[in-house]
A and B are shown apart, each in its own frame.
Chain A
Amino acid sequence: MTYIIQTTLTLGFVYSLVALALFLSYRILDIADLTTDGCYVLGMATSVTCAYYGHPFLGILLAIISGAMAGFTTAFLQTRLGVPSILSGIVTNTGLYTINLMIMGYSSNIALLKKETIFTIVKTIINNSWSDFLIVMIIAIICMLFMLWFLSTRLGLSIRATGDNKDMISASSINEKFTITVGLSLANCFTALCGALVGQMQKSADINAGTGIVVIGLACLIIGETVINGRKSIKRNIFAVLVGNIIYRFIYAIILQTRIFPIDFLKLVTAILVALAIAMPTLKANFNIYLRARKEGGNVKN
């Protein structure tokens, strides 16, 4: 049980970084950023390769910078070259596959056996089985507080308005191209940071590790929002990111532990969870109408 709780919390906190990124791109900017999958692996590849050569901390830093570059590329395609937003993410994502392979020295996976990572370094200092959790928790909370602060600054407000009302932006002194670029670059910093941390934590990088990350991130975001009614305010929404991730990772850990489903089913279970989470408000509304119609004697079938 302790194991389940520990994994749930550790993975919940670390993957909340991806959901935080999607909160910025999908919720705030209203752009479905499909760079996410490739960017996650980009962060992972960069950080693990650096750790392999003995620079775990530099690896994290470089991963964040590389994430910003990936986000910038997507934004550049979209704002300066007129590529539709979804397509520009896909284009960057496709290109990243090769770049990730290059970073990993044209091998599809790297293992960090007996190499130092930020997690092993911290473990030698505090020597506690919760040390991994402590690291990711502190980093995730810093990122969330940063996001909360950032979105209340003048630049943050401009980014929020960009996603909120296109007409208003075109008549205002806000440069949409700039705000989208900043927003997507920042979002992908978080995604890459997540990949970087996960890579060093599990001591390996795999070229296909990113498959489905964007869907899982969205699932967590939406689950959280549905559970705690997270769209009321920015503060609540950022908290919902964390809640959603912990719930999702708990279900994930239970499935892994109890084997109610074969592990190969995980992606399908994820997809169903996402669909359900997104459909929840509609289902709820329909069900309420159904109940009222039953009670008040209206015709239910249409």
Chain B
Amino acid sequence: MLKIESISKTFNPNTINEKLALNKLSLKVDTGDFITILGSNGAGKSTLFNAISGNFFVDEGRVFIDNDNVTFVPDFKRAKYIGRLFQDPLKGTAPNMTIEENLALAFLRAGKTKSTFSKISKNDENIFYEKLKMLEMGLEERMHTKVGALSGGQRQALSLLMATIVPPKLLLLDEHTAALDPQAAEKVMFLTKRIVEENNTTCLMITHHLKQGLHTGNRTLFMSDGKIILDLNEEERSKYTTNELLEKFKEGANKELDNDRIILSE
């Protein structure tokens, strides 16, 4: 589905702040995979997502989606089949527009049949109503409320809905529950799993929650210094205890997994 061939990216080249963020990284993702990605700060996890979604062009290497070489395709074109959620719930929605208007924008991806100058139709409204109802947050009764008035959890749930209302080929989740309170985080995570399962969406998820990382999806990657140092499938990862994994990480990365942000506990 997604194939990455030896991509590299250096930020601020030839300056004192030069940073090799991706180092000849290769990755092959099959359709329907749900992969979790763990790693310390600065390991290149978000940079990898930026490279996949085309926020910048990589310095070397190639990116394929469904065997199409998209290495030099700009981000807004790739966004037609890539959905993306950020840690900051404010990043996914337009605050001065209503819930309905935000969803209408997301629905643009369905595109093609809709003309540029068409308005939100009754039919669209019904679709939005049904989809919002699925979130079980009562948002379907507040379609004309400005999104800026919603809580972080509600905004993130809405962002999730927007990213998946037209099922994307690939869903990128960049710690999308990390900034939410525990209850909202659980809710958003529950919705994520349900939506991904329903559509059998291929999904990559960055997390700092070790347990969540190891128990979600069917494959787990560990990143360090712009490389994937550990790639475990469902069977492999269930064999190891947490401590053994941290030991293996240390071997691969030549350093401890930075514990500051990794949540090791239950």
Q: Given the complex, which residues of B lie within 8 Å of A164, measured CB to CB?
A: 94-97
- Kindly specify which of B7-15, B73-81, B218-226 makes contact with the partner chain: B73-81
- Interface of chain B, main secondary structure: loop
Pairwise interchain contact B96-A154, C-beta atoms closer than 8 A: no
A206 close to chain B: CB less than 8 A: no
Q: Given the complex, which residues of B lie within 8 Å of A170, measured CB to CB?
A: 55, 75
Q: Given the complex, which residues of A lie within 8 Å of B74, measured CB to CB?
A: 175
Pairwise interchain contact A172-B91, C-beta atoms closer than 8 A: no
Q: What's the least CB distance linking B97 to chain A, in Å?
A: 6
Q: Scan residues 154-183 of chain A and give those whose CB is less than 8 A from a CB of chain B.
A: 154-155, 157-158, 160-161, 164-165, 167-168, 170-176
B17 close to chain A: CB less than 8 A: no
Q: Scan residues 194-218 of chain A and give those whose CB is less than 8 A from a CB of chain B.
A: none
Set A152, A167, A174: member contacting B76, Cβ < 8 A: A174
Closest residue of chain A to B76 (Cβ to Cβ) is: A175
Pairwise interchain contact B93-A165, C-beta atoms closer than 8 A: yes
Pairwise interchain contact B94-A173, C-beta atoms closer than 8 A: no
Closest residue of chain B to A155 (Cβ to Cβ) is: B116
Q: What's the least CB distance linking A184 to chain B, in Å?
A: 17
Q: What's the least CB distance linking B174 to chain A, in Å?
A: 10
Closest residue of chain A to B84 (Cβ to Cβ) is: A171
Pairwise interchain contact B118-A153, C-beta atoms closer than 8 A: yes
| B176-207 contact mask (Cβ, 8 Å, vs A): 1 or 0 | 00000000000000000000000000000000
Q: What's the least CB distance linking B102 to chain A, in Å?
A: 8
Interface size in chain A (residues, C-beta < 8 A): 20
Distance, CA A155 to CA B105, complexed state (A): 9
Q: Given the complex, which residues of A lie within 8 Å of B53, measured CB to CB?
A: 171
Q: What's the least CB distance linking B78 to chain A, in Å?
A: 9
Distance, CA A174 to CA B118, complexed state (A): 16
Q: Given the complex, which residues of A lie within 8 Å of B88, measured CB to CB?
A: 167
Q: Given the complex, which residues of B lie within 8 Å of A160, measured CB to CB?
A: 94, 96-97, 101
Pairwise interchain contact A174-B108, C-beta atoms closer than 8 A: yes
Pairwise interchain contact A154-B114, C-beta atoms closer than 8 A: yes
Task: Give the interface size bracket for B toward A.
Answer: 20 to 34
Distance, CA A154 to CA B96, complexed state (A): 16
Given A167-B91, A171-B84, A176-B76, check contact A154 B118 (CB 8 Å).
yes
Q: What's the least CB distance linking B159 to chain A, in Å?
A: 8
Given A152-B119, A154-B114, check contact A173 B93 (CB 8 Å).
no
| A32-64 contact mask (Cβ, 8 Å, vs B): 1 or 0 | 000000000000000000000000000000000
* Total A-B contacts with CB atoms under 8 angstroms apart: 77
Q: Given the complex, which residues of B lie within 8 Å of A171, measured CB to CB?
A: 53, 75, 79, 84, 86, 91-92
Q: What's the least CB distance linking A12 to chain B, in Å?
A: 27
Q: Given the complex, which residues of B lie within 8 Å of A150, measured CB to CB?
A: 117
Q: Scan residues 61-94 of chain B and give those whose CB is less than 8 A from a CB of chain A.
A: 74-77, 79-80, 84, 86, 88, 90-94
B104 close to chain A: CB less than 8 A: yes
Distance, CA A35 to CA B52, complexed state (A): 37
Pairwise interchain contact A153-B101, C-beta atoms closer than 8 A: no
Given A158-B105, A171-B84, A172-B76, check contact A165 B94 (CB 8 Å).
yes
Pairwise interchain contact A172-B105, C-beta atoms closer than 8 A: yes
Q: Given the complex, which residues of B lie within 8 Å of A175, measured CB to CB?
A: 74, 76
Pairwise interchain contact B116-A157, C-beta atoms closer than 8 A: no
Set A154, A161, A172, A173: member contacting B97, Cβ < 8 A: A161
Q: Find the residue from B74, B96, B102, B109 having the highest chain A CB count within 10 A.
A: B96
Pairwise interchain contact B79-A173, C-beta atoms closer than 8 A: yes
Distance, CA A165 to CA B96, complexed state (A): 9
Closest residue of chain B to A160 (Cβ to Cβ) is: B97
B127 close to chain A: CB less than 8 A: no
B120 close to chain A: CB less than 8 A: yes
Given A171-B86, A173-B77, check contact A161 B117 (CB 8 Å).
no
Pairwise interchain contact A168-B108, C-beta atoms closer than 8 A: no
Q: Find the residue from A150, A154, A171, A174 having the highest chain B CB count within 10 A.
A: A171
Set A152, A153, A165: member contacting B91, Cβ < 8 A: A165
Q: Given the complex, which residues of B lie within 8 Å of A165, measured CB to CB?
A: 90-91, 93-95
Q: Given the complex, which residues of B lie within 8 Å of A168, measured CB to CB?
A: 91-94
Q: Given the complex, which residues of A lie within 8 Å of B111, measured CB to CB?
A: 173
Q: Given the complex, which residues of B lie within 8 Å of A167, measured CB to CB?
A: 86, 88, 90-92
Q: Given the complex, which residues of B lie within 8 Å of A161, measured CB to CB?
A: 94, 97, 102, 105
Closest residue of chain B to A165 (Cβ to Cβ) is: B94
Q: Scan residues 20-37 of chain B and give those whose CB is less than 8 A from a CB of chain A.
A: none
B139 close to chain A: CB less than 8 A: no
Pairwise interchain contact B92-A158, C-beta atoms closer than 8 A: no
Q: What's the least CB distance linking B149 to chain A, in Å?
A: 12
Q: Across chains A and B, which 4 residue pairs bring their CB atoms closest together, nearest first?
A: A164-B94, A167-B91, A173-B79, A171-B84
Report which A residues bind B (CB closer than 8 A).
150, 152-155, 157-158, 160-161, 164-165, 167-168, 170-176
User: Could you name 13 residue pairs across A and B whose Cβ atoms are closer than 8 Å?
Assistant: A153-B118, A154-B108, A154-B116, A157-B97, A157-B101, A160-B96, A161-B105, A164-B97, A170-B55, A170-B75, A171-B75, A174-B108, A175-B74
Beyond contacts A170-B55, A172-B106, A174-B105: 6 other A-B pairs, Cβ-Cβ < 8 A, are A160-B96, A165-B91, A168-B91, A172-B79, A173-B76, A173-B111
